[in-house]
Amino acid sequence: MSESSTTTVVERADAARNRQLLLNTVREMITETGVEQVTVDGLAERAGLGKGTVFRRFRSRAGIFHALLDDDERAFREQVLYGPPPLGPGAMPATRLVAYGRARIRFLLERHAVARAALDHNQSILAGESTLSQTHLRMLLGQAGVDAPDVDSLALQLTGALEGPILLYLPTPPRPDSARHIARLADNWQILIEHLCQPTPERKPETDRKE
């Protein structure tokens, strides 16, 4: 390996370590003082890195929270694609639909403040499209044999119910009531899915398959 290649590998390894250090540090700061108290200067000081390093990595305060969400999203995706049932493969489609919605609601509402902090001032308050949710819900609706005029549109509507309004529009209750708030929304999702997936004589649900 040439000297320049060795230098590049070392730089990439250092960048990866710094990124993980910063993400771990910002998680600690959020736990201790809340999202509102996190600043670029405070993160740099707490992590023992230069302010310029933080700016190069995240570009803005909103970028810090965006990276944090992206890191959590990757872990969530792994659970959906490869984790144990019913969230992961191995359960019946209707059961997986219920499990996905319940898990997604909990995931999003537990990160409500982080998601709002991840919005840049020039961004719309609407959450971006979730490819994972739309694709996953469409697949499970098809497997469950849901009787709908347009299953693609239904998947899109269900994705909107999970990703946008819940994440950024619903008011968050006081912390002592947050678990009950999440449970109510998750229960509503389950009622909706169970109604959609009620068997009919004409409906022949597909067997579950791994993604």
Q: pLDDT of 34-86, one tens digit each?
A: 999 999 999 999 999 999 989 988 999 999 999 999 999 999 999 999 999 99
pLDDT band at 209 (very low <50, low <70, confident <90, very high): very low
Q: Does residue 29 carry a pLDDT above 90?
A: yes
Instruction: Report the pLDDT value the prediction gives residue 146, as an integer from 0 to 100.
Output: 93
Give the C-alpha separation, 94 to 33, whole Å: 40
Spatial distance between the Cα atoms of 74 and 56, rounded to a whole number of angstroms: 22
With cut-offs at 50, 70 and 90, classify the pLDDT of residue 130.
low
pTM: 0.80
How far apart CA 102 and CA 85 sit, in angstroms, is 13
Q: What is the per-residue pLDDT for 197?
A: 93
> Pick from 142, 53, 127, 63: which is nearest to 97 by CA?
142
Residue 95 burial (CB count, 10 A): 18
Residue 43 half-sphere exposure, CB side, CA atoms within 13 Å? 31
